[in-house]
Structure 1
């Protein structure tokens, strides 16, 4: 889901673009955004893709099975478009018609900005933290037949 919907319940016209970008990144990496794990950090797939992009290592995100059968410049272009689709601010995301044009031509692509949901989560927190809850004071009466 797009950041504006999760944070504020606002449904924008670019909601589908964000979702498409997530799916595109998942297809390229062959990993799911939800539950993604990397040994060097606790970012999700979007954060990992962004880190590799700014470090100029986009090919490290791409699943190796693409290397044999695809034009790698086209695959990196798909990654670039995916990052443009997952921008935090809806106005920074392209329209779906622009996405189709970007994927089907050699039109120049703008540099992506940091994606939405690019926050490092703490998955190593102690499980001893519990949420407050009510005590179960329900009693059961033994029912016996006559």
Structure 2
């Protein structure tokens, strides 16, 4: 089902000093930063350079975050013609969602697991690069 982002929650510019609830999605307001979509895992502040999307609780907010991620780059390249994204631009973003909350939860669990695997692999790559760097330094002494 296609829905407008504005139908899923309140969209506004982040306010300095405000503490946002976990589950808030925040999106970069500069089109040149394409793909700048984040999920707030725990209550906290968000820089004012972002727009916030606070959901109404009808759907899994992490699922909506992933749905926004899947559409964001295509949307920004297709519809944004100027330097910055406006709140009205974000409100008009159309995303595909599944309305069954159990399916949403299942998708979120699988995508979170993939993210965890990716983070582990990135740590391994970082460690191997450091081992290589250290070995090269020792080799050239």
Q: Shorter-chain TM-score category? A: under 0.3
TM score, norm. by length of structure 1: 0.21
- Greater share of helix: 2
TM score, norm. by length of structure 2: 0.22
* CA radius of gyration, larger in: 1
